[in-house]
């Protein structure tokens, strides 16, 4: 079952002086239940607008959105108690303590002080829980935002750049937290510009550019889509190595201080055999992987060029 | 809805602006009490006897039509009522004495501050949420916007009413102490008490409506300054111009109706620019028919303004995106 269904979403902002801005042009997206779903795109791609539409904060110009099976335009209140969210920078009453902010929100859903205390501990804010939010650092506010999102014990988390303002240790903590939530069977829908983070924690991704989804699927498939599989070889004599591999009928070429060979990684033994036959011994052999950043830049670059 | 209302009341009570206004108001009450205490001196028995004799004499003259002609009486008022209302022994007691019977006037005198404070409180209650962005967080917990607006409106109206009552009670208590120790408690019977309680309730109700007006305009403008500036420009400038052009328009202006409601005194409105007598030969100007605005009608007009602004705020909040 898809927990998020978006069909033909279009959002235009009409402004008197600046005319019409299209934030999302035509977005179709389905997010399956469970796991972490990375929602990627360059600035202005429409990620935040999409999340705002899902939360009923912004009304779509066209299209339909369903959240946990409920039509967002009509039935959002029936499922909102199962949805935790952060939209951009979490906002709280600056002169209330973190605990008081969460308590007030919790009261709306009948959530008591014990749960608030437990959440504050979970996001590592127990020691500063009774200080005013205005004294919190950006990272602490972000953690409080994550705490607020988790307070409902939600089935679905919509998180817009949750790692904003966090230090490296905080980023790792959030990554582990989101992975554990995904592993518990919850669905974590996370937009982020830190692609390495998304690659490490997401099971599936969608990439947006100019308000439309240009690719979506499991991370592995997105990384390898449209690309020949290959391995990377490193050895002392690159010239002799390429010659040996070509002689063995392999598609190989020198690339800097290594050789790229186009063949499925499961057939890597053909490489070692061809080199060993010529008394050439490799110092490194690994699958030729691209990272999400490369794919992202290629895809969004194609779109924007 | 109850939970949401409870949360909104807590937020309203915790507003720094509310605490600041209360502290300032209590400071003002204390200072006013001390100054009144210092300036007031209780009347001597001789002065009281002299005042009573003078009042009795003037009352007879008034009833004989020496002070006002029957045709000049306010609509629906007899000469006996008018004389008894305007002539009392306390009026003849030396002015250095504080009279608790004037409490009504004191409350009405400070009502402007209470109403202005309530207006600012209502505007800041919602405007600050837009400014800080906390409205977004709230809507991700309660997406039914009309419910959110209703809870905020009820919360701020209730808080403004309660605070206005509390501050008036504080002022009344301080002035009662002054009157007991160094002033006069004359003419403070049941009728006086009913009048004071009526004034207090009307002032609190006006403060409550003012907070709703402030909230509604801030919800439309999504900004505290815009809301307060807009209301000030309308009430002080636009209504002032309209009143100057045609005084009878006061029947429908917020400022005039608030004034009628708070004082509890009906007011006659007519266009003085067209109202005049015949001056010499050939100079005849037609009178405009004077119209009375009663207290009940004034309350309805102010209520209609609040209702219209709330409808506009509800439409705006429901229809517009929250970015």
Q: Where are the beta strands (DSSP E) in chain A?
A: 2-15, 19-32, 35-40, 62-67, 70-71, 83-86, 156-160, 187-191, 204-209, 212-218, 230-234, 251-255, 258-262, 284-287
Please give the helix or strand (H or E) that residue B291 lies within, else none: strand B291-293
Report the C-alpha gap between B256 and B250 in whole angstroms. 6
Return the residue of B nearest to A50 by Cα.
B323
Q: How confident is the model at residue B275 (pLDDT cuts 50, 70, 90)?
A: very low
Strand, coil or helix: what is B186? coil
Closest partner CB to A107 (pick from B6, B137, B143): B6
pLDDT at B196: 92
Residue B314 has pLDDT above 90, yes or no: yes
Report the C-alpha gap between A291 and B6 in whole angstroms. 50
Residue with tokens 């408690």: B185
Closest partner CB to A95 (pick from B4, B7, B16): B16
CA distance A60 to chain B (A): 9
| pLDDT, tens digit (0-9, with 9 covering 90-100), for B46-59 | 888 888 899 999 99
Question: Do A58 and B321 lie within an 8 Å CB cutoff?
Answer: yes
Question: Do B136 and A91 lie within an 8 Å CB cutoff?
Answer: yes
Question: Do A59 and B321 lie within an 8 Å CB cutoff?
Answer: yes
Say if residue A237 is exposed, middle or buried (CB neighbours under 10 Å; 0-12, 13-18, 19+).
Answer: exposed
Q: Is residue B321 within 8 angstroms of chain A, CB to CB?
A: yes
Contact residues, chain B, for A110 at CB < 8 Å = 3
Count of A-B CB contacts under 8 Å: 66
Strand, coil or helix: what is A95? coil
Alpha-carbon radius of gyration of chain A: 24
CA nearest to A72, candidates A59, A54, A89, A58: A54
What is the residue-averaged pLDDT of chain A? 87
Distances in whole angstroms, Cα of residue A244 to Cα of each of A237, A249, A288? 11, 9, 19
Q: Is residue B10 within 8 angstroms of chain A, CB to CB?
A: yes
Report the C-alpha gap between A229 and A223 in whole angstroms. 11
Residue B285 has pLDDT above 60, yes or no: no
Closest partner CB to B4 (pick from A90, A91, A108): A108
Report the C-alpha gap between B119 and B305 in whole angstroms. 14
pLDDT at A297: 76
| pLDDT, tens digit (0-9, with 9 covering 90-100), for B200-244 | 999 999 999 999 999 999 999 888 888 888 888 998 899 999 988
Name every residue whose Cβ is closer than 8 Å to that of residue B176 and which is 6 or more positions away in sequence. B100, B103
- Output b/e per residue, B146-181; b: 16+ Cβ within 10 A: eebbbbbbbbbbbbbbebbbebbebbbebbbebbee
Question: Do B3 and A90 lie within an 8 Å CB cutoff?
Answer: no
CA distance A78 to chain B (A): 10
CA distance A180 to chain B (A): 23
Q: Is residue B142 within 8 angstroms of chain A, CB to CB?
A: yes
A187-191 β-sheet, strand order: A83-86, A156-160, A187-191, A35-40, A204-209, A212-218
Question: Do A77 and B143 lie within an 8 Å CB cutoff?
Answer: yes
pLDDT at A178: 87
CA nearest to B212, candidates B158, B133, B143: B158
Q: How confident is the model at residue B272 (pLDDT cuts 50, 70, 90)?
A: low
Contact residues, chain A, for B143 at CB < 8 Å = 55-56, 76-77, 80
Question: Do A95 and B137 lie within an 8 Å CB cutoff?
Answer: no
Q: State mean pLDDT over B277-302.
A: 73
Alpha-carbon radius of gyration of chain B: 24
Name every residue whose Cβ is closer than 8 Å to that of residue B188 and which is 6 or more positions away in sequence. B100, B101, B179
DSSP β-bridge partners for residue A285:
A233
What is the residue-averaged pLDDT of chain B? 87
CA nearest to B51, candidates B114, B95, B115, B103: B95
pLDDT at B287: 57
CA distance A268 to chain B (A): 52
Contact residues, chain A, for B321 at CB < 8 Å = 13, 52, 57-59
Q: Would you list which residues of chain A are within 8 Å, Cβ to Cβ, of chain B?
A: 13, 52, 55-59, 76-77, 80, 83, 85, 87, 89-96, 104-105, 107-110, 148
| pLDDT, tens digit (0-9, with 9 covering 90-100), for A244-296 | 999 999 999 998 889 989 888 888 899 999 999 999 998 999 887 777 777 77
How many residues are given for chain B?
323
CA nearest to A95, candidates B273, B69, B62, B129: B129
- Concatenate the DSSP letters of all residues of B30-75 into one string: HHHHHHHHHH--PPPHHHHHHHHHHHHHHHHHHHTTSS--GGGSPT
Closest partner CB to B141 (pick from A94, A96, A105): A105
Q: Is residue B323 within 8 angstroms of chain A, CB to CB?
A: yes
Lowest mean pLDDT among A41-50, B123-132, B166-175: A41-50
| pLDDT, tens digit (0-9, with 9 covering 90-100), for B128-164 | 889 888 899 999 999 999 999 999 999 999 999 999 9
Low-confidence ranges of chain A (pLDDT < 70): 225-228, 301-305
CA nearest to B93, candidates B187, B176, B196: B187
Report the C-alpha gap between A82 and A71 in whole angstroms. 14
pLDDT at B30: 93
Contact residues, chain A, for B132 at CB < 8 Å = 91, 93-94
Asked if residue B124 lies in contact with residue B131, where contact means CB atoms within 8 angstroms, the answer is no
* CB neighbourhood size of A180 (10 A): 11
CA nearest to A201, candidates A223, A172, A225: A172
Residue with tokens 């550019």: A209
Backbone phi and psi for residue B267, each to the nearest 5 degrees, phi listed first: -130, 145
Mutation pick from B128, B135, B141, B152 vs chain A, by most beta carbons of A within 10 Å, is B141
Question: Do B141 and A58 lie within an 8 Å CB cutoff?
Answer: no
pLDDT at A305: 39
Question: Do A96 and B14 lie within an 8 Å CB cutoff?
Answer: yes
Asked if residue A177 lies in contact with residue A197, where contact means CB atoms within 8 angstroms, the answer is no
State both tokens at B85. Answer: 């209302």
User: Do the bridges between strand B98-99 and strand B183-184 make them parallel or antiparallel, or are there none, so unpaired?
Assistant: parallel
Say if residue B130 is exposed, middle or buried (CB neighbours under 10 Å; 0-12, 13-18, 19+).
Answer: middle
pLDDT at B248: 86
Q: Is residue B177 within 8 angstroms of chain A, CB to CB?
A: no
> What value of ipTM does the predicted structure carry?
0.80
Angle of helix B190-221 versus helix B145-182 axis, rounded to 10: 150
């Amino acid at each position: 079952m898809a927990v998020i269904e978006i069909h033909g979403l279009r959002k235009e902002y009409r402004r008197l002086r600046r005319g019409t801005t299209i934030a999302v042009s035509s977005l179709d997206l389905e997010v399956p239940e469970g796991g972490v779903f990375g929602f990627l795109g360059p600035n202005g791609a429409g990620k935040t607008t999409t999340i705002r539409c899902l939360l009923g904060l912004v009304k779509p110009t066209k299209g339909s959105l369903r959240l946990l099976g409920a039509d967002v335009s009509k039935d959002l209140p029936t499922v909102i108690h199962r949805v935790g969210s952060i939209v951009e920078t979490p906002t709280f009453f600056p002169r209330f303590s973190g605990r008081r902010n969460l308590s007030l929100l919790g009261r709306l859903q009948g959530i008591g002080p014990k749960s608030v205390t437990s959440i504050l501990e979970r996001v590592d804010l127990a020691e500063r829980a009774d200080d005013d939010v205005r004294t919190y650092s950006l990272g602490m506010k972000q953690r409080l935002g994550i705490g607020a999102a988790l307070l409902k014990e939600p089935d679905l988390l919509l998180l817009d750049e949750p790692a904003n303002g966090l230090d490296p240790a905080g980023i790792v903590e959030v990554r582990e937290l989101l992975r554990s939530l995904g592993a518990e069977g919850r669905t974590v829908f996370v937009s982020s510009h830190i692609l390495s983070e998304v690659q490490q924690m997401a099971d599936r991704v969608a990439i947006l550019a100019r308000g439309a989804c240009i690719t979506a699927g499991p991370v592995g498939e997105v990384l390898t889509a449209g690309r020949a599989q290959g391995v990377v070889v490193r050895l002392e004599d690159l010239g002799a190595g390429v010659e040996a591999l070509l002689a063995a009928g392999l598609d190989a070429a020198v690339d800097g201080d290594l050789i790229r060979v186009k063949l499925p990684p499961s057939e890597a033994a053909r490489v070692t055999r061809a080199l060993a036959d010529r008394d050439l011994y490799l110092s490194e052999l690994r699958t030729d992987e691209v990272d999400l950043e490369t794919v992202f830049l290629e895809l969004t670059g194609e779109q924007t060029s | 809805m109850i939970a949401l209302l409870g949360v909104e009341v807590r937020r309203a009570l915790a507003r720094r602006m509310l605490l600041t206004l209360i502290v300032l108001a209590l400071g003002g009450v204390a200072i006013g009490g001390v100054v009144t205490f210092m300036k007031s001196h209780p009347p001597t028995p001789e002065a009281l006897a002299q005042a009573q004799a003078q009042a009795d004499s003037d009352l007879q003259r008034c009833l004989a039509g020496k002070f006002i002609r029957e045709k000049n009486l306010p609509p629906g008022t007899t000469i006996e009522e008018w004389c008894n209302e305007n002539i009392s022994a306390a009026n003849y007691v030396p002015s250095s004495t504080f009279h608790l019977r004037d409490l009504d006037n004191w409350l009405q005198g400070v009502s402007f501050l209470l109403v202005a404070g309530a207006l600012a409180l209502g505007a800041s209650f919602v405007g600050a949420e837009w400014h800080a962005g906390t409205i977004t967080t709230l809507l991700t917990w309660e997406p039914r916007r009309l419910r959110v607006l209703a809870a905020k409106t009820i919360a701020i109206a209730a808080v403004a009413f309660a605070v206005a009552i509390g501050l008036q009670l504080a002022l009344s208590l301080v002035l009662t102490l002054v009157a007991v120790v160094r002033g006069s408690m004359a003419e403070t019977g049941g009728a006086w008490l009913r009048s004071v309680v009526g004034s207090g309730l009307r002032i609190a109700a006006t403060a409550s409506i003012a907070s709703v007006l402030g909230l509604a305009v801030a919800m439309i403008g999504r900004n505290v300054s815009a809301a307060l500036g807009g209301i000030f420009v309308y009430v002080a400038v636009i209504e002032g111009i309209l009143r100057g052009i045609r005084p009878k328009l006061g029947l429908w202006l917020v400022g005039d109706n608030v004034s009628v409601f708070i004082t509890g005194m009906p007011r006659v409105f007519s266009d003085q620019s067209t109202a005049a007598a015949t001056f010499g030969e050939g100079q005849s100007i037609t009178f405009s028919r004077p119209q009375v605005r009663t207290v009940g009608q004034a309350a309805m007009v102010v209520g209609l303004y609040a209702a219209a602004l709330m409808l506009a705020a509800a439409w705006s909040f429901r229809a517009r995106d929250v970015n």
